[in-house]
């Protein structure tokens, strides 16, 4: 567990915000007919134009700048040349390395034609991220974050909370200690210390929580073939959670893209 100074958190904030802006650039271009490889090129060019390099490319041999996971793909999908279809859920995970620190953020896009069932899944998952982030304070433990996500998604909405994949610490390495599961018990786990920076990332399935590894050795898919959603923020732990990333840029871009459905955080109302 690596504790960051105030100055290091501010450097991390710059990397994190660049990822947020990169996802917004993706939000401008994503639509049915576009492929993951096209988005991957846009993201890598955008990162390099802003003085950063893609965190994921080359990481343990991963071949691309983005992880793009479609429909029943949970995470770690490899971008390909297959065109997106109307109604697809496209989860985009992006990392940026700049000034010695990484930023890491994910957003799930609902393309035009997505069902209300799928849209609700995305909205609930986004809300669960907010609930988990609220618990990222120096008075809490890792289990408090996971408990908040699990209670909302699993107990209140009946979705599957993936167990095999978790959030993580973030800093000069893209994955640091501690692991941040999306399930857990209140008051249990490692204590969250002031200056710790973590990536909180609920991965929530419409059906079963069970997952499987695809033949490409990277892509994680739902075992039952039902859709999955993934949202992620970088957070600095303190007396209050300091969110280093933002969805504001993405939301602004989606509002101008008629090919993507807006997925505001769940408030108990169908939109």
Q: Quote the CA–CA distance of 130 and 73 in Å, as a whole number.
A: 23
Q: Is 270 a domain residue? A: no
Residues 61-83 have a mean pLDDT of 97
Split into its structural domains, the chain has a count of 1
Q: Is 92 a domain residue? A: yes
Write down the pLDDT at residue 271: 58
Is residue 89 over pLDDT 90? yes
Task: Report the CATH number that the domain containing residue 224 is assigned in CATH.
Answer: 3.90.230.10
Q: What separation, in Å, do the N-terminal and C-terminal C-alpha atoms of the chain show? A: 41
**265 touches 128 (CB < 8 A):** no
What does the mean pLDDT of the chain come to? 97
Q: Quote the CA–CA distance of 148 and 157 in Å, as a whole number.
A: 13
Which residue range forms the structural domain that includes residue 105?
6-261
Instruction: State the pLDDT confidence band at 269, using cuts at 50, 70 and 90.
Output: confident
Q: Is 191 a domain residue? A: yes
**33 touches 148 (CB < 8 A):** no
229-264 tens-digit pLDDT: 999 999 999 999 999 999 999 999 999 999 999 999
Owner of token pair 């073939």: 225
Q: Is 269 a domain residue? A: no
Picking from 51, 49, 89, 99, the residue whose alpha carbon sits closest to that of residue 68 is 89
Q: Is 217 a domain residue? A: yes
Q: Is 237 a domain residue? A: yes
Is residue 186 over pLDDT 90? yes
Write down the pLDDT at residue 1: 82
Picking from 46, 89, 90, 85, the residue whose alpha carbon sits closest to that of residue 65 is 46
Per the confidence metrics, is the pTM higher than 0.95?
yes
Owner of token pair 């998952």: 125
Q: Is 271 a domain residue? A: no
Q: Is 268 a domain residue? A: no
Instruction: State the pLDDT confidence band at 268, using cuts at 50, 70 and 90.
Output: confident
100-130 tens-digit pLDDT: 999 999 999 999 999 999 999 999 999 999 9
């Amino acid at each position: 567990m690596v504790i960051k100074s105030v100055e290091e958190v501010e450097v991390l904030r710059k990397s994190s915000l660049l990822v947020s802006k990169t996802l917004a650039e993706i939000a401008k271009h994503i639509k049915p007919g576009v492929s993951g490889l096209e988005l991957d090129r846009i993201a890598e060019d955008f990162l390099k134009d802003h003085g950063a390099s893609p965190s994921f490319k080359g990481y343990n041999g991963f071949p691309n700048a983005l992880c793009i996971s479609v429909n029943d793909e949970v995470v770690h999908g490899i971008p390909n040349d297959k065109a997106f279809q109307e109604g697809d859920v496209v989860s985009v995970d992006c990392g940026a390395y700049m000034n010695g620190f990484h930023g890491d953020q994910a957003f799930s896009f609902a393309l035009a034609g997505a069902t209300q069932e799928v849209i609700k899944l995305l909205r609930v998952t986004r809300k669960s991220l907010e609930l988990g982030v609220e618990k990222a304070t120096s008075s809490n433990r890792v289990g408090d974050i996971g408990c908040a996500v699990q209670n909302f998604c699993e107990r209140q909405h009946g979705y599957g909370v993936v167990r095999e994949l978790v959030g993580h610490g973030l800093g000069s390495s893209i994955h640091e200690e501690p692991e941040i599961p999306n399930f857990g018990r209140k008051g249990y786990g490692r204590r969250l210390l002031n200056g710790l920076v973590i990536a909180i990332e609920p991965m929530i399935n419409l059906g079963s929580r069970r997952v499987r590894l695809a033949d490409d050795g990277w892509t994680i898919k739902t075992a039952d073939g039902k859709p999955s959603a993934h949202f992620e923020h970088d957070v600095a732990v303190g007396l209050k959670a300091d969110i280093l990333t933002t969805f504001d840029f993405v939301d602004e871009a989606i509002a101008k893209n008629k090919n993507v459905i807006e997925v505001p955080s769940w408030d108990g109302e169908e939109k």
